[in-house]
Structure 1
Amino acid sequence: MSPALRSPTTGDDLRSALMLTLALTAARLVALFSTPLELYPDEAQYWLWSRTLDFGYYSKPPVIAWAIWATTAVGGDAEAWVRLSACLFQGGATVVVFLIARRLYDGATGLAAAALYGLMPGIQLSALVAATDAPLLFFLGLSVLAYVAHLQATDARRRLLLAVGFGAALGLAFLSKYAAVYVVIGLAAHLLASAEARRAWTPITAGAAMLATAAVLAPNLAWNATHGFATFQHTAANAAWSGVQLFNLAEAGTFLVSQFGVFGPIPMGALIAGVGIAAARRRLSQPDLLLLCFTLPPLLIVTVQAFISRANANWSGAAYLTGTILVAAWLLRWRARRWLVAAIALQGFVAAFFLAAVISPALADRVGLANGLKRARGWSQTADLILDRAFREPGLTAIAVNNRFLFYSTAYYGRERLTELGVPLASWLLMEGPRNQAETAAPLTPAIGGHVLMVSYEGWRRSEMQADFEAASGLEIGSVWLDRKHKRRIEMFTGRGFRPSPRDPVTGLPRAPVVSVPPGRPTPP
């Protein structure tokens, strides 16, 4: 990309973007350190991973665990410190959005894009939750920034360094979430569409970028190779969604509608309108083409995925960092400043309400949004119910739960009492093999199954759990209110002599006993 495509900017835009980012980050920090909302079980899972650093984990690459380890090493294991890295990653991503837009267009576009991105509804949630999306978007943004800078560079040495930076950032994006593959797809699409982009790469710079990516990814690939490629298999299985209705137009429609909530109604509408205008005119500027190549593939691929089976609203999140820049550029080019101001104002209002609801969940309850927060409530009380019962049972050899949410929330909220009790927390396996990291790392086995406190989430499969013991007794049902309408129920009993029955791999239920029938006699029904 020619340096002439870059527009002049002033330092005022950069200062404004930094002030916006600092203000948003400060508001999010206030919410993080004052919210009564508890860790969602997936967050507790990532925290537990961070206690044992590794180059990979059952369902995700390692960056999320590394980040939590770093922040909790500074401030301790409280919820805010577990989530802190998400806030910092999204603050960094907002600045990166500004820098990309300024390189491709000008400082005014960069400031508008930073505002749209920082206030995006989906980003508000991502910045306050310990998950893989925040580091993915930060490193994805760095890779796009390095790619753009590489295309604009004229010095061979600088291009080589930027190619290495692009490869390293892409590797870190992959270590955050395998959805970084959309960067590779976007890169391939841009190289196919732009002769100018192809000319910017040489065999040396392309090789340097690939080597840098490979070097960053190598430890994770080695970990997967020694663990049966567990993360890859989980990612593939998650995308496959076996057991759901296939070719469902309603699912695709639901996913597309959800994107208006993730991206914001005005930006999403502008993105659709801009794509339509570009298709009608059959003409795109070089910056627009580059951004479209990184924006459209995630949206199109995940929409197809939603139609074939189903998709979560955040699966297309890789589209919106570059998509925000494109929308800001188009709105300014169309002189639709009122729409831009309206978009920023609307998303600012939503962001303010969201932060207020995080600080005071009663606000969400009053406006009928309590259901959206129920999974971040009541886990400490649930852990207390389990451990109160455990302390009343002398001689326990283990506590076993039948749900990964229960496993991770009990591991986090019962961490001190579990240490005091001195018995392992385990997972009861429904199937013959493990299906998640809790079942892989801490399965209930006969070696620890002498006297077990068994916990069933909502009573699920309790009869099958009881059948795995020589004796089961002391059924107790406990519940925790999550709001005025919803409560969580657990059923607990003690089991002695764990002898798991063979399972049918299709149903998960105990296999029927094999009955030997002498020749000439009828087969029993």
Structure 2
Amino acid sequence: MATDQAKYSLHFWLLTLGLAVTKILFTLRPEINLFTEEAHYWLWSRNMAWHYYSKPPLVALLNLLSTSLMGHTEIAVRINAILSGIGVAWITFLFGSYLYSKKVGFWSAAVIQGMPFWWLASTFHVTDSSLTFFWILTIYFSYRGIKEEKKGWWVAAGIATAVGLMAKLVMALIYPSLLLFLFYNKKWNSQKINFLIFFAISSLGLVPLVIWNWQNHFDTFKHLAALAGADGIDLKQFKITDAVNRFIIYSNEQLAIISLLLLPSWLGMIYFILKRKNAVMAFLVTPGISAFWLFACLSLIDEVNINWPAFAYCGFAIALGKWMELQTKSWKVISKWGIFLSIGLPAIFLLPDFAKIKSNKLFRIKEQKVIVRLLGHRNLAERIDYLKDSLAIQKDFIFSDSYHTASELSFYLSGHPQTYVLNMGSRKNQFDLWNGMEKFIGQKNTGIFVSWNFDSMEGGAIFQQLIHEESFLSTYHGIPRRAVKIQIWKNLLEYRPNIPSSY
């Protein structure tokens, strides 16, 4: 029996490290660039602060550490996501093994590694990468604290939550989730002191938020309020049909992000939990259900991004892993095939085309649409470097109407220069809080304007002379992408950006 259980540890590491290698190979594909948000968070690491306009500092700190060790490369940024993905799978394996057996632990980890939200958070280094890891770590520690009634586990959970809050503020959903379970399971009276210790320790994770927002007019709170629809609700224009439509779209997206290939198994698991009313299962699914309904309510007011509640779905994987063990052979076959396909299909998509099975033009066209935000940034930067060299430009600054484009250019241009954003009507972002282009007025520098959206600066910046203009068109396996405008100007005379009124 011990040997049988040990093999599941081996299987877990073979699967998990194999998927990590798959994501490394994907990152090393020469045509694959950083995702635009990844580049933006990397630029934060070049401008370290207590907090940032929209997010806490952990993503920038991790980028700072990894790029200091590995240089400013795609793999140096993405290694943070890949390690977070290994961590999420490992804690899921440990948690499932602790609750039930290593067999359940293995299948729980296999389930979570088949869920599309895990693929995204463990491939691209965004705030959800470390958030998901510290969320499942907190769930694991807090459960052991509840079951074993040991203060040490609650302290560990508090530390994990504090770090999670420095990844993304939505980590605060752990508080109502744990409280709901403690009252449901009649554990509040015996655990309230431990919970208060946990709360006090975890609150330290909010210190960077408070310091930065005190210094910056509480911009993060205004931004979060805007995302919740607080600055855009017009009761006179509110339509119940639009709200219902947004809710339906949101619900379908949530099913997709936990894998539609496992839908029969998810439905079977839900029926099992409702029928049995098992306390352990309730603990595993309460956080995910709470997050789902919180953002479901928000979807009635405004659009909700597909990833917002996904981090809280980790417990679903362990519940499904246990449910699988209790099922008939037919249900196990259905579930295992769902897992294998959920893992295998994304892996095939990410891997380089070793066998040339993805080389036909129709596949490439569809692939380009899926990964469009990962393409062409290096080519664009190389073109700008070429123009600077051929035109003998030395004192220059690069700017765009988009913080996405400006961030990508900073990463891929030679020397990784600080880039700038000319706000032409977008909502407020981190670039609006950094020093802007006004310092170049009258300094006889050369400004290089790059935009996917505009053919001119529309009076936002006025220069003395246009030196060069072109529309640059990059290709993906011979398939052309959308053209980008490049304008090279001499001597900034006036700088009149749009002052954003929305957060």
| TM-score interval for Structure 1 and Structure 2 normalised by the shorter chain | 0.7 to 0.9
- Correspondence for 2:215: 226
Query: What is the CA deviation profile of residues 195-251 of structure 1, one whole-angstrom value per residue up to 9, with x for unaligned ones?
Result: 0x3244142x22321221123432343233223333333333334396699643333
- Does structure 2 conserve the Cα–Cα contact (< 8 Å) formed by 1:86 and 1:126? yes
Matches of residues 318-467 of structure 1 in structure 2 within 5 Å?
318-335=311-328, 336-356=331-351, 366-367=362-363, 368-391=366-389, 392=391, 394=393, 396=395, 398-416=397-415, 418=417, 425-430=419-424, 435-445=428-438, 447-448=440-441, 450-451=443-444, 452-460=446-454, 462-465=456-459
Cα separation, partners in 2 of 1:165 and 1:459, compared to 1, 3 Å: closer
* Number of residues of Structure 1 aligned to a counterpart in Structure 2: 484
Where structure 1 has 5 or more consecutive residues not aligned to the other structure, the ranges are 1-8, 419-423, 508-525
Q: Does the Cα contact within 8 Å between 1:458 and 1:491 map onto a contact in 2?
A: no
Q: How far apart, CA to CA, are the structure 1 residues paired with 2:500 and 2:156?
A: 47
Verify the 8 A CA contact 1:400 1:428 in the aligned structure 2: yes
Q: Structure 2 counterpart of 1:168, which letter? A: I
8 Å CA contact retained: 2:181, 2:286 = yes
Other-structure match for 2:42: 47
**Shift of the alpha carbon at 1:145?**
0.6
Give the % identical residues: 19
Aligned partner of 1:302 among 295, 300, 303: 295
Q: What TM-score results when the alignment is normalised by the length of structure 1? A: 0.83
2:162 and 2:202 in contact (8 A); partners too: yes
Partner amino acid for 2:166?
A: L
Is the 2:114–2:259 Cα contact (8 Å) retained in structure 1?
Answer: no
Deviations 1:76-130 (A, max 9, x none): 1111111101001110110101122223333222111111112323322322211
Amino acid corresponding to residue 78 of structure 1 in structure 2: T
| Counterpart residue number, 2:18 | 23
CA root-mean-square deviation: 3.1
Q: Which runs of 5+ in 2 are unaligned?
A: none
Instruction: Pick closer, same or farther for the CA change 1:93–1:459 going to 2, 3 Å.
Output: closer
User: Which residue is 1:170 aligned to?
Assistant: 161
CA distance 1:22–1:497, shift in 2 (3 Å): closer
Q: What is the match of residue 288 of structure 1?
A: 281
Alpha-carbon spacing, 1:268–1:132, altered in 2? closer, same or farther (3 Å): farther
Structure 2 SS opposite 1:122: helix
Q: TM-score, normalised by structure 2?
A: 0.86
Q: Does the residue aligned with 2:51 lie in a helix, a strand or coil?
A: coil
Larger Rg: 1
| Cα distance in 2 between the residues matched to 1:353 and 1:143 | 32
* Cα separation, 2, equivalents of 1:346 and 1:504: 49
Q: Give yes or no for the alignment of 1:212 onto 2:201.
A: yes
CA distance in 1, matches of 2:308, 2:494: 41
3-state SS in 2 of match to 1:308: coil
Conservation of the 8 A alpha-carbon contact between 2:447 and 2:491 = no
Does residue 189 in structure 1 map to residue 180 in structure 2? yes
Which amino acid counterpart does residue 375 of structure 1 have in structure 2?
R
- Within the candidate set 127, 133, 138, 1:138 is matched to 133
Secondary structure of 1:60's match?
A: coil
CA distance in 1, matches of 2:454, 2:140: 49
Which of 466, 483, 486 is residue 481 of structure 2 equivalent to?
486
Alignment CA distance shift 1:363-1:42 (3 Å) = farther
Structure 1 residues 324-367: Cα deviation after superposition (integer angstroms, max 9, x where no partner): 11222223333321122112221132132232269899659642
> Taking structure 1 as reference, are residues 93 and 394 closer, same or farther at Cα in structure 2, changes over 3 Å only?
closer
2: CA distance between counterparts of 1:455 and 1:230?
A: 28
Q: Distance in 2 between matches of 1:132 and 1:152?
A: 30
- Secondary structure of the 1:313 match is coil
- What letter corresponds to residue 426 of structure 1 in structure 2? Y
Shift of 1:184: 2.0
